[in-house]
A and B are shown apart, each in its own frame.
Chain A
Amino acid sequence: MDWVPAISRWIHFLAGVMWIGLLYYFNFVNAQAAKAAAADGTGAGIAKHVMPRALLFFRWAAVVTWLAGAALLGSHFGAAFLLQKSHIAIGVGAWLGTIMLFNVWVLIWPNQKKLLGIVQASDEEKNKARRVAFLASRTNTMLSIPMLYFMAAGGHAQLFFAS
């Protein structure tokens, strides 16, 4: 057994499930629930007790997923990111995952910090932050669909791409 790729693959799956699971929780459950809770005045608990904890696991699971994926690619990292024929499917998946990691740390988390009061922001800044964080999260949900397709296709070109 080659321990590094085996353990990397396992951790990649574990952290990936946590990352994308929380992404789907935010988009399929929380967005609508928070809107309904705000309407009946019960939203404060979600913002105070749920979101900070969910975002903590979300953003760090994204990092662990990417690092474990990079370790898993090992010496094929360059071939994947350069979209060489031999690794093009996993390369497309890796690029999509990398764009999603960027969205988490550059667009979602800094704007969520304003919404959760971790960083001071005016009402106008909060409204803008809410829209940017929402669209980045929805973009990641959209990108997760092809990303998971190409993760599944990695190493199975015959199954996915043969005529």
Chain B
Amino acid sequence: MNNPLDSLWGTIIAGLILTLILHLAVKAALGA
């Protein structure tokens, strides 16, 4: 499997996925 960080789009998509995961984690922590 290729490293997604080798491409710019892979880097951006990985960043967006990480943002979504952290968003949901913070939302859950806040009980919102």
Chain B residues within 8 Å of A83, by CB: 29
B residues near A163, Cβ cutoff 8 Å: 32
Would you call B8 an interface residue if the criterion is a C-beta within 8 Å of the partner chain's C-beta atoms?
yes
Tell me if B18 and A28 are in contact (CB < 8 A). no
Render B1-32 as a binary contact track against A, CB cut-off 8 A, 1 for contact: 00101101001101110110011001101101
Q: Dominant SS at the A interface?
A: helix
- Listed in ascending order, the chain B residues whose CB lies under 8 Å from chain A are 3, 5-6, 8, 11-12, 14-16, 18-19, 22-23, 26-27, 29-30, 32
Chain A residues engaging chain B, CB cutoff 8 angstroms: 27-28, 83, 85, 88-89, 92, 135, 138-139, 141-146, 149-150, 153, 157, 160-163
